[in-house]
Amino acid sequence: MINGHGDDLFHYKHLIKSNFSSNVYNRIEHEELFERLSNKLYLLSNYPEPEPLSLETAFANFYHVEADCVCVTNGATEGIYLIAQTFKGKKSAVWMPTFSEYADACRLHGHRVSAFYTYDSVPADADLVWLCNPNNPTGEVRDYQRMKEWIGAHPDKLFVIDQSYESFTFKRLFSVSEVAALPNVILIHSLTKHFAIPGLRMGYLTGNAKLMKEIRLQRMPWSVNSLAIEAGFFALEKNLELSINLREYLDTKEKFVKELKRTGIVDVWDSDTHFFLVKLRMGKASALKEYLAEEHGILIRNASNFEGLDESFFRLATQTEEENQALVKALSDWMACI
Amino acid sequence: MINGHGDDLFHYKHLIKSNFSSNVYNRIEHEELFERLSNKLYLLSNYPEPEPLSLETAFANFYHVEADCVCVTNGATEGIYLIAQTFKGKKSAVWMPTFSEYADACRLHGHRVSAFYTYDSVPADADLVWLCNPNNPTGEVRDYQRMKEWIGAHPDKLFVIDQSYESFTFKRLFSVSEVAALPNVILIHSLTKHFAIPGLRMGYLTGNAKLMKEIRLQRMPWSVNSLAIEAGFFALEKNLELSINLREYLDTKEKFVKELKRTGIVDVWDSDTHFFLVKLRMGKASALKEYLAEEHGILIRNASNFEGLDESFFRLATQTEEENQALVKALSDWMACI
């Protein structure tokens, strides 16, 4: 693992009032889930299933695919590491800038890792192609039709698409039933983001049965804790529906972006979801981050350690209107100081 | 993972009244821990530390060793798999019969795995030597002095000692401060067993700082969930003290063993902890297991899939006196039927 992931809230415990640094939206309703978990703590007294087959079957039924097409994991992160381990020593190409764990996991398992930045520049000899969609940190969703053609044109490559943020966009994405029938696509999913429960560690992979069987062979027993499994069942009872109105939330984002642009201090990248990249026209994101934490109790994500980005970049996840406005004001204050 | 671990309670959900199949003693007091966890569910709303460094430091302070000497894991199982991964492709010798995960983890990571059964028969070319102490499934604790000499006589080998059941014996075991100063020993620890919370997944490794640093490099971020970390802090506040009177519990075990022997149906292996192996003089453990589950709501661990044991073996973990007596009676009933 590299240093410098988002949500380093634990470093600043007593200072922070507003946390823009994590892509996990902290206004997602948890109360009902927490009440359920609270009533199910007795589950901790027994081992979870060595392999979470019951939950995998439930997900498969929900998506109308064979049970073998789902692999439940200890957070989406375990999914990433299991894929890297299953294909150890291969050549992996990662569409940058993106989440650093794809490259980290691949390097740990002996892959030769390269970066690419456009559809046309994916290395010809890559065995695996990794991308995030919606992409972290840019928030961009790749065009569905173009992606489909691109993947179809490269039957020799395995495409790993991290859809962790799939609940937070209206753009068309690959569906589980679609990839279950494709020979060369794996989707990564995250309940962490959907329910805003990153502390619980719950994710899953989907793909064709043969691929998923190979990956499950690499998974250690009992990797998924009993409460995470319970949260998975809860999510399915709710039909994986989001507890907030996404349209309103993305409207709030649009307003936030406009206000940021209006300051004249930053450029904002177009995003198809609730988080987005911001580039300072002057100064460094690291200095801004310290200033906002110390002076305003606001935490942002310094994005300069994403490969392909420089030290002027930071990432914001939309919060409430009041918090967004407070950030815009604090940013102007900072500009007046430097 | 092989099939057939203990605590397959999830297969029999509605039938079982008494569960002797798991080495996790289910009368361990959880109420205070569960109340704590219930009040800390809000921790699930943020990511845990990517590496659980705060808890590692707290464990290190408790044991009076450097912080680098502790590696907290997603259950002891992740510890086993991380060690196997760190030393991938090596030669591993496993002291049998024992928990199957050592060999499974080693095979997954390309080790050449061999079995041995006595101090003197450990293969000369083994790089790693794995043993469990107290041993699962036998409950035996190896003589401390003899082990120390044995390890000292093999400075070329790394000894991995799983002390998951360390809280359940009065026999002398290796201490954390002792192995932190040794070049070639890793201890595996489990809060799962200590607090009877196998559903939560919380374990840790200890050893010298150099070894632990190597292993931590293999650990994926966020592998340990926020509630497991909280349980770790709770355990330290309690000075890792057991909530039951171990002397009384082991006395109950002695009485249970005597009653089992008195039936004349079985041989019982000597054990230094609360669980032990039983060998049927006639019949198969698999048939007995089905009979006890179906007719008496009692779950036992068929131990015939432990390497080195045959189909007459099963394992019992001591329960309450009433439950123990019910099992003894049910065993006699079975013998009368076959």
Question: What does the DSSP assignment read for B95-154?
Answer: ESS--THHHHHHHHTT-EEEEE-SGGGS-TT-SEEEEESSPTTT-----HHHHHHHHHT-
B112: left (phi over 0), alpha (psi -120 to 50) or beta: beta
Q: Computed from CA positions of residues A120, A126, A127, A130, in that sequence, does the dihedral angle turn out positive or negative?
A: negative
The helix, strand and coil proportions of chain B, stated in percent and rounded to the nearest 5, come to 40, 15, 40
How many residues can be counted in chain B? 338
Q: Measured between CB atoms, which of A48, A199, A218 is closest to B46?
A: A199
Question: How is residue B307 written in tokens?
Answer: 């390497």
Nearest Cα of chain A lies from the Cα of B147 at a distance, in angstroms, of 29
Mean pLDDT of chain A: 94
Q: pLDDT tens-digit profile of A4-18?
A: 566 677 677 667 899
Determine the pLDDT at residue A292. Answer: 95
* Residues B46, A10: C-beta atoms closer than 8 Å: yes
pLDDT band at A318 (very low <50, low <70, confident <90, very high): very high
* Residues 143-202, chain B, touching A (beta carbon < 8 A): 196-201
Nearest Cα of chain A lies from the Cα of B117 at a distance, in angstroms, of 26
* Residues A50, B222: C-beta atoms closer than 8 Å: no
Nearest Cα of chain A lies from the Cα of B34 at a distance, in angstroms, of 7
d(CA A191, CA A183): 25
Q: Which chain B residue has the Cα nearest residue A26?
A: B45
Q: Enter the pTM of the model.
A: 0.94
Q: Measured between CB atoms, which of A30, A47, A198 is closest to B199?
A: A47
Query: Which of B37, B47, B219, B319 to mutate to test binding with chain A, by most A CBs within 10 Å of its CB?
Result: B47
- The helix (H) or strand (E) run that includes residue A60 is helix A53-63
Q: Measured between CB atoms, which of A7, A48, A201 is closest to B46?
A: A7
Domain at B9-27+245-337, CATH class: alpha beta
Query: Which of B32, B102, B225 to mutate to test binding with chain A, by most A CBs within 10 Å of its CB?
Result: B225
Instruction: Collect all residues of chain A within an 8 Å Cβ-Cβ radius of residue B103.
Output: none
Q: Measured between CB atoms, which of A22, A199, A225 is closest to B199?
A: A225
The number of C-beta contacts closer than 8 angstroms across A and B is 152
Mean pLDDT of chain B: 94
Nearest Cα of chain A lies from the Cα of B149 at a distance, in angstroms, of 33
* Residues B51, A196: C-beta atoms closer than 8 Å: no
Instruction: Collect all residues of chain A within an 8 Å Cβ-Cβ radius of residue B220.
Output: 1, 77-78, 80-81, 101, 105
Number of Cβ atoms within 10 Å of the Cβ of A281: 11
Strand partners, A19: A299
* Residues B38, A41: C-beta atoms closer than 8 Å: yes
Q: Measured between CB atoms, which of A47, A51, A225 is closest to B7?
A: A47
Instruction: Collect all residues of chain A within an 8 Å Cβ-Cβ radius of residue B219.
Output: 1
pLDDT band at B10 (very low <50, low <70, confident <90, very high): low
Q: Is A218 on the interface with B (CB under 8 A)?
A: yes
Q: Which of A204, A191, A147 has the alpha carbon at shortest distance from A30?
A: A191
Query: Which of A19, A33, A42, A44 to mutate to test binding with chain B, by most B CBs within 10 Å of its CB?
Result: A44
Number of Cβ atoms within 10 Å of the Cβ of A246: 14
Query: Which of B102, B201, B214, B299 to mutate to test binding with chain A, by most A CBs within 10 Å of its CB?
Result: B201
Domain spans of chain B, in order of start: 9-27+245-337, 31-237
pLDDT band at B3 (very low <50, low <70, confident <90, very high): very low
Q: Which of A109, A70, A78 has the alpha carbon at shortest distance from A91?
A: A109
Q: pLDDT tens-digit profile of B143-170?
A: 999 999 999 999 999 999 999 999 999 9
The architecture that CATH gives domain A31-237 is 3-Layer(aba) Sandwich (3.40)
Q: Is B57 within 8 Å of B235 (Cβ atoms)?
A: no
* Residues A198, B46: C-beta atoms closer than 8 Å: yes
Q: pLDDT tens-digit profile of B53-89?
A: 999 999 999 999 999 999 999 999 999 999 999 999 9
Q: pLDDT tens-digit profile of A208-230?
A: 999 999 999 999 999 999 999 99
Give me the DSSP letters along B89-111: T-EEEEESS--THHHHHHHHTT-
Does the domain at residues A9-27+244-337 carry the CATH identifier 3.90.1150.10? yes
Q: Is A316 on the interface with B (CB under 8 A)?
A: no
Q: What is the ipTM of this complex?
A: 0.93
| pLDDT at residue A3 tops 50 | no
From A2-16, A34-48, A80-94, A183-197, the region with the lowest mean pLDDT: A2-16
| pLDDT at residue B2 tops 60 | no
* Residues A228, B223: C-beta atoms closer than 8 Å: no
Indicate if B31-237 has the same CATH topology as B9-27+245-337.
no
